[in-house]
Amino acid sequence: MEKIKVVLGKRSYPISIGSGIIQEDNIFFPLKPGNQAMLITNKTLANLFKDKVLFHLRKSGIKVDQVILSDGEQFKTLNELEVIISSLLEKRHSRDTTLIALGGGVIGDLTGFAAAIYQRGVKFIQIPTTLLSQVDASVGGKTGVNHVLGKNMIGSFWQPSSVVIDIDFLKKLPYNELISGIAEVIKYAIIFDEKFFNWLEENIENLLLLNDTLMPYCIKKCCELKAKIISLDERENNFRALLNFGHTYGHAIEAHSGYGNWLHGEAISVGMVMASRTSEMMGFLKKADYERILSLLKKTGLPIKGPKNMSAASYLPYMMRDKKVISGEIRLVLPISIGKAKIYSGIDKNIILNSIKYFQ
């Protein structure tokens, strides 16, 4: 088992990574025998993993209740949040309870947001079951729900007490979900680490086969990169915004298409392509680097073109509601080389539109 620490003073927390680690003693930190907890998952995952996790929680002496939500991005809503809150109240969970998120990014975000607002804040643990949540969504304390007009527009920063990444969960992950998670992996490489990008180019086929050596290394690498950024800029006042590379375009695709019709990683893949094209058009990114980014995404099996029924102009209203917009100016994360990115504002909207049109 590997351990990484997110350093945030008194709110620091461990990330544990390994195979079969939910069976380890004291893995559900900070829970102790006799503590109260609420396990939150969805219908699909309940059939796959719930009983096993409940068994180990109860074996550890934890008093645990459960909430089973509907499955899918379209259910990342205030309605589902209310289901969690109502269940906590009905089962008389007090301020010392701990919520446990067993699932992907949707469950993690919903559970974290519920933890942030229930009785003005309770502890929560992340047990991510998808690659996307293991390498990205479960770490960093971004929680929230979607609004019909924009993704993740209602939420809060609320850090987990611990993150337990059991790689064995990935064996049950649908292949398209695995590929979707790789989009976030590629994101880290493009914006932070050229050597990691080179490694992905060499190892992507075996990584997609869940190689026992490559996948743990990949997950640990992403968590290390994110933990460092979170420790330096927890609330996205500065360079944590770099983690949104591809997301301004990608969130527009998700909101326009209807949440759940495009997997998050699929939309972010297209968003990274559009952002890279924007950077190349502005003379920041070399054509050779741009083509390497395109090539790796295609090699992974990720899409590089947006929805056919979505015009370039229809991206802009969603992009203008993006959380990075300041004083009416779209701010975009653009790669300037592989391994380095910057945030730019005041970009000519015609350049943005042309970068979108190029991939329709």
Active site residues: 120, 142, 184, 226, 236, 240, 244, 247, 251, 264
SS (H, E, C) the chain: CEEEEECCHHHCEEEEEECCHHHCCCCCCCCCCCCEEEEEEEHHHHHHHHHHHHHHHHHCCCEEEEEEECCCHHHCCHHHHHHHHHHHHHCCCCCCCEEEEEECHHHHHHHHHHHHHHHHCCEEEEEECCHHHHHHHCCCCEEEEEECCEEEEEEEECCCCEEEEEHHHHHHCCHHHHHHHHHHHHHHHHHHCHHHHHHHHHHHHHHCCCCCCHHHHHHHHHHHHHHHHHHHCCCCCCHHHHHHCCHHHHHHHHHHHCCCCCCHHHHHHHHHHHHHHHHHHCCCCCHHHHHHHHHHHHHHCCCCCCCCCCCHHHHHHHHHCCCCCECCECEEEEEEECCEEEEEECCCHHHHHHHHHCCC
Contact 90, 28 (CB under 8 A): no
Q: How far apart are CA 357 and CA 327, in angstroms?
A: 26
Angle at 196 between CA 217 and CA 208, to 5 degrees: 55
Distance, in Å, from the CA atom of 245 to the CA atom of 274, rounded to the nearest integer, reads 10
Distance between CA atoms of 15 and 251, rounded to whole angstroms? Answer: 27
119 within 8 A of 92, measured Cβ to Cβ? no
- Sign of torsion, CA 224 170 12 23? negative
